[in-house]
Structure 1
């Protein structure tokens, strides 16, 4: 009986080894058949991760440089060299600087016409084109902030009325719709 058990154990061991060798051979055939595709995929992944890392480092470096230029301009708003450098490197930050310092600058109108030629964020363009004292965008934004505060306090009906006053053509309409669905639920 022990001999039969030993023979069965050897047979099962051999069949397990056969299956393992068979799977190894199948894997080798698969790799040989698709090795160029696998290598191309691995190479593409490596290139993507290197590009992503490098672009992140470059973006961070540019952000620090732009912030440094902006901080220098805050110290000396009449420095035309830094102003031109900021205009070249970050047009949006340049436009915000001009908006913040329009009182300090005598040639704001000429600079404002220059802004229309630059590639600016659409939301920033909307703010710049509007009259800052009577801006519909800023009024709608103010309504949105008031509605959010009312939602936080649990005054949902009053917030719904404020949100309904924001026109459908406003850039803030998407946010207003999201706030309409918010029922003051704290999470």
Structure 2
């Protein structure tokens, strides 16, 4: 190495050390200037992580309690302790339990679970032979048995002698529907009317 190369090497080393110290000083100034904000941000992040962990733990415990209580309820539908636990830990399972209990007792229950609510309304409409209630149920986009509700509406209309209304109602059921076989049978009957 020549003397000139040595001098250049030393200059480069000094420049890199100088840049390092300069960046360190900038970081230190930034920290001193925003110390409260940085500490507050760290505390908020730590509290959020702890809160999220505690919430997950409580949710998991509630799921476990609710599942155990639901199993107890399925074994004995008159178990009030299991119903109370379900009511406190999981409202959907509680509503399902009320639905199952009412069904076992031959009643209908107004429940707040998406599909069971519609099914309960459907059963009530069939029991009452109510065209209006079947109409309401069939208009629910979340109802799984929509075509069967429409078919039952047409069946009630046919029983009441409203044959033209029944024919119009049956046209609402598409050919791809599982209820279409029933529609063909009723349409065959309605041809004579």
Is 1:32 aligned with 2:32? yes
Aligned residues: 137
TM-superposed CA distance for 1:32, in Å, is: 1.1
Equivalent residues in 2 for 1:1-187, closer than 5 Å: 2-105=2-105, 108=107, 112=109, 115=111, 120=112, 123=114, 126-127=117-118, 130-132=121-123, 135-136=137-138, 137-140=143-146
With a CA cutoff of 8 Å and minimum separation of 6, indicate the structure with the bigger relative contact order: 1
Runs of 4+ with deviation above 3 angstroms: 132-135, 160-163
Which of these two proteins has the greater Rg computed from alpha carbons? Answer: 2
Indicate conservation of the 8 Å contact 2:115/2:144, yes or no.
no
Give the gaps of 5 or more residues in structure 1: 143-159, 164-187
Uncovered stretches (5+) of structure 2, i.e. residues with no partner: 127-133, 149-173, 178-193
Is 38-47 or 95-104 further displaced after alignment? 95-104
- Deviation at residue 15 of structure 1 after TM alignment: 1.0
CA RMSD of superposed structures (Å): 3.0
- TM-score normalised by L of structure 2: 0.60
Q: Secondary structure at the match of 1:53?
A: helix
Query: CA 1:128–1:39 in structure 2 vs 1: closer, same or farther (change >3 Å)?
Result: farther
